[in-house]
């Protein structure tokens, strides 16, 4: 079983509020359909849908004021909208996508996802469907609510379901020696050891309440520890996600123990 992350920077125009990247989503849906690499779970990020609202209402830090409740709903609703757009496009491309709302099936504890009942997800997969989940505004046992990143969700799904491979599709080729958007000298690393310290991923260039590339790396490390092959690829370059899903050699960064 494989898990594919479609980063928020891939499925939305990150600097345009609530603007989906239809062209990218359509091409990726075709690639996913053509790869036919089932069983598969897809998880997408928030991009310009979830993150600006989560930030505006301080959702990631938990509830300090009742007035945030409305913003919590708005943040979730923005993710529902983005998810609907993505699932519709996947279905049009012939991928048997099925939407799962994380906030309806789990809660975090101090921002961490410790318990996840994967029974239902498993049943949908066994029927041949492709569950599509997303980073979401969720209830939290310690701070009333929190933001669960798609990356943390992936690590948990990968470990609980015993995924063979996890592919993180983002807007960069993989992990670089430095942030390639800020430093032209940055070099792509073909493989990165999660125990080593060979990458300086720098800071994210957009609003990201869940920790940007640094957060992604630490969640990806959890999936590596659980035994999955983890690959980071540029989902903007046509063919890379398809090749990665097929298990073919592709430009990107492999994470190792």
Q: Which residues sit at the interface with ligand IP8, rule CB under 6 A?
A: 8, 45-46, 50-51, 54, 75, 79, 135-137, 147, 149-151, 209-210
- Considering the complex, what minimum distance in angstroms separates the CB of residue 9 from ligand IP8? 9
Nearer to ligand IP8, 39 or 46 (CB): 46
Nearer to ligand IP8, 45 or 180 (CB): 45
Nearer to ligand IP8, 6 or 192 (CB): 6
Nearer to ligand IP8, 2 or 216 (CB): 216
> Bridge partners of 168?
5, 232
- Considering the complex, what minimum distance in angstroms separates the CB of residue 56 from ligand IP8? 11
- Considering the complex, what minimum distance in angstroms separates the CB of residue 94 from ligand IP8? 25
- Considering the complex, what minimum distance in angstroms separates the CB of residue 24 from ligand IP8? 15
What span, in angstroms and rounded, lies between the C-alpha atoms of 130 and 45?
17
């Amino acid at each position: 079983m494989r898990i594919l992350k479609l980063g928020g920077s891939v499925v939305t125009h990150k600097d345009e509020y609530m603007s989906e990247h239809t062209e990218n989503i359509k091409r990726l849906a075709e690639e996913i359909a053509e790869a036919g690499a089932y069983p598969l779970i897809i998880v997408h990020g928030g991009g310009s849908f979830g993150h600006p609202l989560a930030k505006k209402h301080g959702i990631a830090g938990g509830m300090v004021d009742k007035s945030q409740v409305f913003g919590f709903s708005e943040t979730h609703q923005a993710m529902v909208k983005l998810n609907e757009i993505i699932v519709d496009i996947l279905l049009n491309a012939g991928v048997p996508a099925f939407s799962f709302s994380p906030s309806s099936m789990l809660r975090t504890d101090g921002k961490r996802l410790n318990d996840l009942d994967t029974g239902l997800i498993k049943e949908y997969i066994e029927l041949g469907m492709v569950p599509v989940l997303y980073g979401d505004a969720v209830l939290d046992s310690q701070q009333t609510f929190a933001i669960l990143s798609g990356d943390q969700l992936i690590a948990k799904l990968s470990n609980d379901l015993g995924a063979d491979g996890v592919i993180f599709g983002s807007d960069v080729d993989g992990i670089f020696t430095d942030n390639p958007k800020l430093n032209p000298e940055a070099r792509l690393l073909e493989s990165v050891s999660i125990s080593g310290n060979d990458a300086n991923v720098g800071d994210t260039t957009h609003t990201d309440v869940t920790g940007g590339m640094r957060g992604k790396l630490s969640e990806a490390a959890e999936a590596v520890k659980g035994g999955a092959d983890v690959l980071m690829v540029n989902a903007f370059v046509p063919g890379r996600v398809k090749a990665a899903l097929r298990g073919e050699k592709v430009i990107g960064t492999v994470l190792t123990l």
